[in-house]
Amino acid sequence: MAVFKQIWNSRSTREKRIIILGLLVAVIYVVINFVFDPVYAKFNQNKRDLQTNQTLLKRYERMLQNAEKTHQKLQEITSMQSGIQNILLTGATSDLANAELQGIVKNLAQRENITFTQIKPQKTTEVNGYTEISLSIPFTGNIQQIQAFLYELDSAERLISIKSMEIKRNRRRNQEDLRIDMDVAAYIRSTVSHEDKDAKNTKGKEN
């Protein structure tokens, strides 16, 4: 320290000012480049992620509203004989339709590099003369992949509705991917008509 003090004292007032000014510039440079810039960049990234998340959620809300209208749409298209098969699954049975829906969903997901952790077929239900084929398809993906996949489902040749979707943040650090739990459904003509059901119910009562 004594050596540095001696060197410092040997400098003129002008040289001391120049050295101090240089040190201040160096400190400001370090603060801007290694403290302020990373914090500001992170803030901007979080802001963009928030805006994108809000856009995604709004789109999902619209799709849920559309899903609520699906049953009404099915009632309307019941009276339309021409072209109805183009939006229904072609499988003649629930098992065949289930396999067909899995193939469609996998193909749409592969376009966006999405891989399902597993696919769980759900219980079929009867809706206005149609059989609803449902799948649970959990997966992970970033916001852009999810948006693109939702668009693929919405514009698919077959009528595919999203029954539910839950978005979860990935617990791992430095991971931009989100965890998605989604249930989708498509439809086939019911293999049992209303008349057949009534007949079965009547026989059951008689027995």
What percentage of the chain carries pLDDT values higher than 90?
Answer: 28
pLDDT at res. 195: 44
DSSP state of 121: E
Neighbours of 114 (CB within 10 A): 21
Which pLDDT value is given to residue 18? 77
Angstrom CA distances, 124 to 18, 70, 129, 201, stand at: 81, 16, 13, 20
Domains defined along the chain, listed by start: 69-206 (3.30.70.60)
Encode pLDDT of 74-89 as tens digits.
766 666 655 677 788 9
pLDDT tens for 16-50 read: 677 777 777 777 777 677 766 676 667 677 667 77
Paired residues of 183 in beta bridges: 136, 164
Q: What's the whole-model pTM score?
A: 0.56
H or E element: which one contains 130?
A: strand 130-136
